[in-house]
Structure 1
Amino acid sequence: MLQTDYIKLEDKFGARNYKPLDVVLERGEGVWVWDVDGNKYMDCLSAYSAVNQGHCHPRIKAAMQNQMKKLTLTSRAFRNDQLGMFYEELCALTNSHKVLPMNSGAEAVETAIKAVRKWGYMVKGVPEDRAEIIVCADNFHGRTITIVGFSTDPISRRGFGPFTPGFKVIPFGDSKALENAIAPETVAFLVEPIQGEAGVIIPPHGYFKKVRELCTINNVNLILDEIQTGLGRTGKLLAEEHEDIEADITLIGKALSGGFYPVSAVLSNTEVLGVLKPGEHGSTFGGNPLACAVSREALKILTEENLIENAAIIGKKFLSGLKKIKNNKIKEVRGRGLLLAVEFKLNAGGARKYCEELKENGLLCKETHDNIIRFAPPLVITAEQVEWALERISEALSG
């Protein structure tokens, strides 16, 4: 079949809730992917940071195959021999006390919302059904009805109401706004360390130090959504480390399985996750032995193969190269680690055309919010491969 045949099948039988680039991929290895016609591309999106370890990492593949031969799913009605070790290794790596495993990032966010609401009623003493969670404008935490209800993106919200109450929206990066928004009923502040979908928006230095201080003083749980920024993407295991703070609740997913399987987790302490009793929350697939075996190996690779350090070092090189591109239509180049963005001025005609040109030159990336290109290659990328990418990016974006 030709690429056009595959595209016609998708368009005929699939819902049109995505607008992908017209490339049909069939194979991947490391930073590279190949389409059905055999054309080779560098992946500079990493499935929105889900394949930090690179496409089809052989160690994760072997762990998955070995576990598949033995046991894949028990549900949580029974125990399995992978879950406890997954808990122990993940807690040791992230300095957490308790883990609640789920499947998708959105499920992790929903789990955290439920947990802090119940914590508010049982521990903080908030009156029933009065718990409030503060979130930030331009956030992206998932696609469920509750989550899009506190989004400020009209495309995400329009036509999906009525929405779940109990959320207050403030500007991102403004600690004074958070201080003014906190009320006796506030149980949590849910925030991304860097707003990825908004276009790699980095808050002012010192912001999270102040946020941590405000949450502690007011007995408010700080929930950091590290589903995209976590597990090495920004040059630290968790992005919170850039300001030397610790969240009360940390949400991870995406690269937790290296792209092999949907796995997410809520990391917290006994005080918060201890409010959930048997029967109050769960997931048929959450914590299954296949997911745990895959995630255990994916986590080991991050540290044993020095991918976190590589993201910090190579990310600086990539960012420096992007900043050297001369184009008066570019508004700003920014990033941390291997989470980078080039933002164009609003009158520049959008970023999609550059993504399409880069695709023709063997590099895959994707626009966000029309005028921003995000570059986020797998963390296995080398200095030589970054040079290769920068040559093509400079050629497409210059002028």
Structure 2
Amino acid sequence: KHKVAAEAEAQASDRWQSLVQAMLGGMVTPETLMASLAPLRSLRERHEVCALAARSVATMQADQARFADAVASLAAAHALPPEDDAATRFATLRQKSDTATAAHEKHAELSKAIETATETLRATTDRLAQIAQDVSAMAILFPERVRPRDLDTLRRATGQARQVIADRAERARLERAVLTDLGVTDSAAAGVLLAGVTTASLDAAHETVTSDLAQAEAALTRATEARVTARDGLAQVTGGPDIAALSERKTTLELQLEDAARTYLELSLGHRLASDAIRRYRDSHRSGMMTATERCFAILTNGAYPRLTTQADGTEEILLAVAQDGATKRAAEMSKGTRFQLYLALRAAAHEQLVAQGTCLPFFCDDVFETFDEDRTRAAVRVMEEIGHRGQAIYLTHHRHVVDIARAVCETPPMVHEI
């Protein structure tokens, strides 16, 4: 292979020399011509690079012209100043494009939020409609004159109905206790037995029984002491004519002691029965007033004090308010606002009792709400409205917000007179 290659190279060299001789004669030697071909080859390569660069420049200039035309068209469409160059107008258009893209994305986000809110509103509306239907279905169970029209009035009416049921159960229990104590079978017979009986007469009987009981206890003490003395004296007797007399005295003392014990037991049982009868009589006659006060006070305090009770203090009874946690407070231990609410509850209950007895008087209040917060003022306004359903409720105030609350809370618009 090397030999063939060497022969081919020699033949090519001979042909090259012959060609140069034939074309140029003896003016240029083959070696000189070969040395001059290298710069020509480099020049051709440079020419090709220059042509490529010229084509690139022409292409870029054409692209720049098209870009300028496109920017000018967009600038004219968006009312940009024509004196700005293409780069400035392109930057402005880019900023407007970014702003529009952000606005489009924000629009899509808000549209989705509106759609979600609309769906939530639709579900809420359906739920409210269902609640309204349920309220209407439950309201049918109430009499027409107190039939609730909305959820709040239904809640209050349900609470009042629950309280009425509890009051009726308590009344039935008290009636059974009274009938059992009196040994009768119905209320009519009990009324016959209690006809003419008053708290004053019962108190007088109680005082008489208490006095008799004290005298019986003293007689029993004296008889016991005499018996002990007689027993000691009998133990010291050993014989003689005094034994029969002492035995007779012993028998007499024992009979006296037995009679005193029987009297004591009768008076003690009578005292207990009289005390129980007086207590039940007081409970039965004050239960209406206490129940009405308790219900009104619970409404005024928004349930902070759901119950009222009494506690004996010697010959008197003290009114106590029972909080939700079971703690009790006297009126003197309450805040000023809570004391005013208790005062209002007592007055409202007394007015309710008068109306039940056929006496309907106007109910006056003079700025009792001034120490109440807004929630308890709303509750107090509803209590005044309830009193107004039974008669005439008049409230005097110089606080404008109380009038605003009354107008917002009352189902029956209040009549406002400015003096």
The structure in which a higher percent of residues are helix is: 2
TM-score scaled by length of structure 2: 0.28
The structure in which a higher percent of residues are strand is: 1
TM-score scaled by length of structure 1: 0.29
Larger radius of gyration: 2
